[in-house]
Chain A
């Protein structure tokens, strides 16, 4: 247990009193003890609506919390995962802001359970309040530079200003150069644009281990935000030895897997998939007409010439006869022909995101944000790609805030000069113990991650409004019609229709492809005196677009008045049960 600070006690009491805590506070950023106190306060002050679940522990053993708002029996859930980076402070603030708004809302908890994880990397989080402060990872040190020494060369506050900022020095081998138009700003070298590297830029500090590299092996460990399976960055020591190697990464995945009722997963952090839609990479998926060369067991199994190309359709035609015997499916064939994952987002998903982006930009504008501001796409190995490509759920990443576009191209610098002058650190010349002359300064690295309170407030509102609007638009499937038609004798035909009354599809296209969640399922369970004709009980569809419907048809034998039960089931779009009687239903 961590010691309770006076401020924490005050906050706990404040929250417990039910007062709106957040929006009015001067400093919207809280350290991890205050975040935990806020969560405990909300759970305590709203016992019927809120509860707190510990979903695991960080590398250093701190609890990872999920705040549940709404009933666990709700037909679906929305998961908000924030701040796996530890230093994405605006995302933690946004999650707590959202929690306040949900508890104040009339209907947002009615059909949806909200699972809010405001701070998924508590270990790295409090670096903002440390002296000196700097962006750092957490946990057991690694040998990042593979020299056999562990955590032997971290950053130092050379100029004693309490901040670990950047350090630059001339080096013709360097990958950076000062912008000719504004020498304070460093640009990455790009020979194609005539920009040749003239400087190295590294974290502030001396070469403690005298290996010629500066601050390349700080005494900190894994970065859980880089350690997810999709696009896992092999060779990045901080991503972990394998995907899911960091306890935070594993805890988030385990929690998601235990909550298949999640209809929408929102990642709050450095990426924004609406302003910077993720692009794919790699080869396009095979279609029936793609021509490929069979490898492995295929030539022998199908009697093919291994030096020839065949179309996928031809190969499946030949493999089909073997299918029953070997349990060999078309998917098995495709795996052998073009093994691998989806390379890019599905077209259907991209067009759905375009619609979301359109209304998101309007919300940004209404809250005084620049709707055309720059944003980052999710990094390979981060949570969003895993959610979209592997876990299979409709998912959006939002970055809460970003500086408006500036004419200079240096958005954050331009913003700082007008609204956060103290974040501009002039480059200070220094001489290192090894004799090298360097400059220390640049922009405060926390500026973009924790912008000033006045700027953050409307950005939080834009994020919260966006999520509340989506909740109202998610798929909800209803049993809209059930018919029983007499076919003569004692035979009856039962027809049932289900419809998605939401604006979002029940499943994303890639979600459906992963086949991890439940499909939309219409099932007939015959009651006493009612015998089904044929063995198939359920009609399935993998996804229903907004407004789309689908039908199940069964034929049964039975006396008038005999019962059967129709069940509509989905993983996260609601369901229904209706008992029908033969001859009494139309």
Chain B
């Protein structure tokens, strides 16, 4: 006892000497990729017993795709535990997705051993963090020049204007202020599509019937770089990292941003292959912006129907999310937002059997957002919720004008005199620093709530009854305490991996099956190979009862091996 205590103390002392303190990132600002990688390395150094940092492959531009795995080897093998996957910045410009994943990671590691719920999660599940999916786009956004909507996609070259050259005419920072802003032009009254807001000339308003306009919008700052008469018509990419995946894919003529075939870009292929060898993942959270939405698939109505037991688990988590994230709405992607094919969460669901959410972080400042009843639908991704006038006033009062770059004249070689200005790149899609931390915290809490919903199995009840001289009936009831089924319906629908497998050692199994009604002892026998009982899972927050008719032995050693629910064992004495 004493010797052990000394050894422990010595061990702690050693730890204190060699292990650096965990990083303490500031969550009131966003960090560029180098800083993020520094944090990841810091966590790996501070928690070597829990953390593995590895690269899953290279991006289109040859950067590493980092994955940090949290796993406690002392509590079992990783492939025998359930798992969750948390990623961010699938779109390069949606940068705070990375901070939100990082905040979740920070919470898990720093609260391990302090908060029982976190300790329990880390001890029973594997957590994969991929905080920078579109690592190239995110780097380009920080490096600039950039705008709030630039560098969303991957850098796989695409001949957008089909002139035989790729990426030859993207936007330019004409006035050298580091921002890819907007261009507008004053034209003769009657030629315009807009007019100035009489109260605030920074704002253009569309025309009402009977009005004449004297302004036109010319799009993103830039020139006709290739002399074809078009401006910014073939910029970097464009392949959208959330249209590249291998489930419910559609080609480019159906939706822009699609690759030539699924998982063609290096990023998607590397991540998908890593996932494919980890079918224990049953929950995926992907952080995007913007619009304050908790989205689930399907992305298109043409998707194969999603089984009801999976929808039930989605609903349990999503509705809880609406309470934990004020202003967020739990929505179905194709129906309530827009149609998309081949997104990462549909891929995770359709090919991995993992329930996936996309959280669209942030939205118009909450004090400007009109109250929308929870659960109501109708998109707010297209600027719904706050008027330009309200946003501008908020910019003036609460950021002292930081967010909006005033219009300035510029002699454009193709258009003549134009004005360049608009919202700064780190606005609208992301909160101000003094709001970021709360946003990160609430989303991390919701993510961990979902991660805690990966299946948790136990043997609730076991019984052996003598049936004959040397034959016994063994009945075992398994309980899943969490929302996600051990075999989600989609696993069976799409034939993704084997069902749960129940076996007995130490006895000869003569027959086996499932008790479908425990009170009336209604049984379904497995016709062949009773010693390998294949079970279509234990439902979310539910039970499954198995029976075996066996011969001989003093005890039966039971193993229930669930790909997504982990492995549980029990010994049943035969007496």
Asked if B253 is an interface residue, CB under 8 A from chain A, the answer is yes
**Cβ contact of A339, chosen from B247, B261, B341, B498, cutoff 8 A:** B341
Q: Size class of B's contact patch? A: 35 or more
A326, A335, A517: most-surrounded residue (chain B CB, <10 A): A335
Determine whether the beta carbon of B334 is less than 8 Å from that of A390.
Answer: no
- Chain B 140-175, CB within 8 Å of chain A: the 1/0 string? 000000000000000000010011100000000000
State A242–B351 Cα separation when bound (angstroms). Answer: 7
State A341–B258 Cα separation when bound (angstroms). Answer: 13
State A511–B341 Cα separation when bound (angstroms). Answer: 21
Asked if A327 is an interface residue, CB under 8 A from chain B, the answer is yes
Q: In the complex where A210-B529, A295-B334 touch, is A515 in contact with B252 (Cβ < 8 A)?
A: yes
- Chain A 381-410, CB within 8 Å of chain B: the 1/0 string? 000001001111000000000000000000
Rounded to whole Å, the gap between the CB of A584 and the closest CB of chain B is 25
Rounded to whole Å, the gap between the CB of B535 and the closest CB of chain A is 11
Which residues of A have CB within 8 Å of B247? 234, 242
Determine whether the beta carbon of B382 is less than 8 Å from that of A326.
Answer: yes
Chain B minimum-CB-distance residue to A237: B495
Chain A minimum-CB-distance residue to B302: A340
Rounded to whole Å, the gap between the CB of A173 and the closest CB of chain B is 12
State A295–B337 Cα separation when bound (angstroms). Answer: 8
**Cβ contact of A242, chosen from B206, B262, B337, B498, cutoff 8 A:** B262
Asked if A47 is an interface residue, CB under 8 A from chain B, the answer is no
**Cβ contact of A241, chosen from B246, B250, B304, B532, cutoff 8 A:** B246
Which residues of A have CB within 8 Å of B163? 518, 521, 538
Which residues of A have CB within 8 Å of B347? 242
- Chain A 317-361, CB within 8 Å of chain B: the 1/0 string? 000010011110001000110011100000000000000000000
Asked if A569 is an interface residue, CB under 8 A from chain B, the answer is yes
Rounded to whole Å, the gap between the CB of B200 and the closest CB of chain A is 18
Q: Size class of A's contact patch? A: 35 or more
A contacts with B: majority SS: loop
State A536–B231 Cα separation when bound (angstroms). Answer: 11
Q: Which of A564-582 contact B (CB under 8 A)?
A: 569, 571
Q: Which of B498-515 contact A (CB under 8 A)?
A: 498-499, 501
State A307–B529 Cα separation when bound (angstroms). Answer: 54
Q: In the complex where A243-B246, A537-B228 touch, is A148 in contact with B532 (Cβ < 8 A)?
A: yes
Rounded to whole Å, the gap between the CB of B416 and the closest CB of chain A is 12
Q: Which of A241-292 contact B (CB under 8 A)?
A: 241-245, 250, 253, 257
State A564–B253 Cα separation when bound (angstroms). Answer: 35
Determine whether the beta carbon of B338 is less than 8 Å from that of A535.
Answer: no
Determine whether the beta carbon of A297 is less than 8 Å from that of B495.
Answer: no
Which residues of B have CB within 8 Å of A245? 246
Which residues of B have CB within 8 Å of A327? 219
Q: Which of B246-267 contact A (CB under 8 A)?
A: 246-247, 249-256, 260-264
Asked if B176 is an interface residue, CB under 8 A from chain A, the answer is no
A211, A228, A236, A241: most-surrounded residue (chain B CB, <10 A): A241
- Chain A 200-216, CB within 8 Å of chain B: the 1/0 string? 00000000011110000
Rounded to whole Å, the gap between the CB of A506 and the closest CB of chain B is 14
**Cβ contact of B498, chosen from A146, A392, A514, cutoff 8 A:** A146
- Chain B 391-432, CB within 8 Å of chain A: the 1/0 string? 000000000000000000000001000000000000000000
Determine whether the beta carbon of B228 is less than 8 Å from that of A324.
Answer: no
Which residues of B have CB within 8 Å of A340? 250, 254, 300, 302
- Chain B 519-540, CB within 8 Å of chain A: the 1/0 string? 0000000011100101000000
Which residues of A have CB within 8 Å of B263? 242, 244
Asked if B378 is an interface residue, CB under 8 A from chain A, the answer is yes
Which residues of A have CB within 8 Å of B337? 296-297
Rounded to whole Å, the gap between the CB of A537 and the closest CB of chain B is 5
Query: Which B residues fall within an 8 A CB radius of A?
Result: 159, 162-164, 193, 206, 216-217, 219, 224, 227-230, 245-247, 249-256, 260-264, 272, 276, 300-302, 304, 334-339, 341, 347, 350-351, 378-382, 384, 414, 493-495, 497-499, 501, 527-529, 532, 534
Query: Which A residues fall within an 8 A CB radius of B?
Result: 143, 146-148, 209-212, 228-229, 232, 234-237, 241-245, 250, 253, 257, 295-297, 299-301, 306, 321, 324-327, 331, 335-336, 339-341, 386, 389-392, 513-519, 521, 534-538, 569, 571
- Chosen A-B contacts, 10 in total, with CB atoms closer than 8 Å, are A146-B498, A234-B494, A243-B249, A244-B246, A300-B384, A335-B255, A340-B300, A341-B251, A535-B230, A535-B414
